[in-house]
Structure 1
């Protein structure tokens, strides 16, 4: 788990604090020393983290073995920073971008979901497509490209959007032959905005996926998965082909947005696999006052398949170096060609 003094706002969902009760680690159960805090942290995750069984299947995660490896590293001669690093290393075994440890001076995190993969995005080239005269509807930036294709960029679901913003944008773009909805590098934010936006691309209620809730301390203790639907928005909705552009930096609520869009008609997902992040995060407090955030509620797609490690695109496309040299974005150009062909059919 890599450390930084900079807390990245873009990947953090609002923190839900666990109230002491079933499954929550009470401060008085553990001594407020290094050993007690480590045990409290391990036990909190053991009781509440939601992907132990899945990650055992995927890469052999054994949480008891993790304890056996890291617990002997704790000793009374350690500094607080050294203790923090051991705790972060232990949490890093979960390979989860929604797992963070917050001390007064640092935030531990695992960003391997995007750092270990090609970016498939270039800021400078992307800005050439947007230009300087694009329109802004709150968090949405948009323009009409030369081939009458609508281009919409949504940088972060932390940026608010309302029905008025989306309707105004749809009205402006309604004569276009198709739409590119680019959510590359959008690493999450408010799930409400993701759900709202996807409702403008369907004319009927659609099953998008499922969510379950932890209901006991065991690794398999979950409620019956509940269906999650997207409802058609009121008023003007998009009726033409859409390409959603993705890369590995599509995380958390953006991952859920892509899940939702996959069940909408005339929507094609293009680009790279998303970064994942399907566990709804909660937080709990350690005896020393540090906070730990973790995935507590697993979310699935409409086929009850896990999306924690990302969603594959319908059409894989990667950045081409020769295109970059020509100031071309391979993914945008592929989407333009695809939509132009669709319009001609």
Structure 2
């Protein structure tokens, strides 16, 4: 409930702050549109202290790119200049949209070593896996190795954009109930709906849990923020809850709502995050409109972990896996490492319980 209240506060605050831009009359003037774009972000964007190039102010960037404008320039040229301004922020949640293009910043998922290969994942899933909404799952077999000594479940969560219900999650977990542990593969999950992320996370907790904080813009100043509001997640009242060992497999492609999912599960006693640092994207995006009708989306609130650390640049795994996938690889070293280490952990737990 508090999460909903805080999001509502963010919506109300942002609507108040950007209302001046949406009430402007239509104009195609490149200078007016550029100035409006710059001002919307100047008043409402939440990560200037983290994103601006060192030794540079937002005003500096205004002048740097505005000098490229021309009175009768084409819409494509104007779009490009605006995109270059936005690219300075290196934020995957900052997008300019028009009828002919969408600007985007995707280096958070493309830079760094190659840590995900969809074809390798398909090889591990085989042909007999099941699909429950956005989840693809099966009891894990290894190519050419047969059943593992300790049965493990594998769930591929490719996106939080697709439909996902408690019924989907409960169905998958029930059908994996004979497994002693579970690998949740979130790699390359670029996010989607926060509600779907939270829905999935609730199936792995048995009591109310404090998972972090958020704060939203309260005024036009770059440092005008609300106090940090606690974020809680509540367990299910109906449905299947999984409290056996879980490895959440992540990489730099885990962003936005997927990063939020990792934040919610990190620190649980039966969960370990494994892989490489997530891509981040912890800002709650909001939208506004330019005088020419183009849309602008931007990060308008900040998310922190329980220690108060901003997670915009990602979340470190509990267990880091070194290495890189090659296009000629026949096995996924990240799934292999997860299965091997999860098996070791489960054996240690069983040994401890026998004492």
TM-score clears 0.5: yes
Q: 1:266 to 1:19 in 2, by over 3 A?
A: closer
| Equivalent residue number for residue 216 of structure 1 | 219
Show the counterpart of 2:154: 151
- 1:76 paired to 2:71: yes
Instruction: Answer yes or no: is 1:54 the counterpart of 2:50.
Output: yes
CA displacement, residues 255-310 of structure 1 (integer Å, 9 cap, x when unaligned): 10011110322111111111111111111110010001100111111111111111
Instruction: Provide the C-alpha distance between the structure 2 equivalents of 1:19 and 1:63, rounded to a whole number of angstroms.
Output: 19
Q: Which residue of 2 aligns with 1:106?
A: 101
1:86 shift after superposition: 0.4
Between the aligned partners of 2:29 and 2:252, the Cα distance in structure 1 is: 39
Moved more, 225-234 or 212-221: 225-234
For the residue of structure 2 that corresponds to 1:303, the secondary structure is: coil
Offset, 1:223: 1.2
- Secondary structure at the aligned position of 2:39 is classed as helix
Question: Does 1:254 find its partner at 2:258?
Answer: yes
User: What does residue 181 of structure 2 align with?
Assistant: 178
Do the aligned partners of 2:14 and 2:300 also contact (CA within 8 Å) in 1?
A: no
Question: What is the CA distance between 1:44 and its match in structure 2?
Answer: 0.5
Identify the residue that residue 9 of structure 1 maps to in structure 2. Answer: none
- What RMSD over aligned residues (CA atoms) do the two structures have, in Å? 2.1
Give the equivalent residue in structure 1 for 2:279. Answer: 275
Q: CA 1:52–1:125 in structure 2 vs 1: closer, same or farther (change >3 Å)?
A: same
1:292 corresponds to = 296
* Alignment match, 1:65: 60
Q: Following superposition of structure 1 onto structure 2, how do residues 305-316 of structure 1 map, counting pairs within 5 Å?
A: 305-316=309-320
TM-score, normalising length from structure 2?
A: 0.87
Aligned partner of 1:119 in structure 2 is 114
Is the counterpart of residue 238 in structure 1 residue 242 in structure 2? yes
5+ long unaligned stretches in structure 1: 1-15
Partners of 1:177 and 1:339 within 8 A in 2: no
Checking the alignment, whether the CA contact within 8 Å between 1:156 and 1:186 is kept in structure 2 is yes
In structure 2, distance between residues paired with 1:31 and 1:25? 15
Q: TM-score, normalised by structure 1?
A: 0.90
Question: Any conservation in 2 of the 1:18–1:24 contact (CA below 8 Å)?
Answer: no
Secondary structure at the counterpart of residue 16 of structure 2 = coil
Partner of 2:30 in structure 1?
34
| CA distance in 2 between partners of 1:201 and 1:247 (Å) | 21
Note closer, same or farther for the CA distance 1:205–1:285 as it changes in structure 2 (3 Å cut): same
Tell me by how many angstroms 1:112 deviates. 1.2
**Contact 2:17 2:44 survives alignment (8 Å):** no
Following superposition, the deviation at residue 30 of structure 1 comes to 9.2
- CA distance, structure 2, for counterparts of residue 232 and residue 199 of structure 1: 5
SS of equivalent to 1:107: coil
Deviates more, 1:58-67 or 1:22-31: 22-31
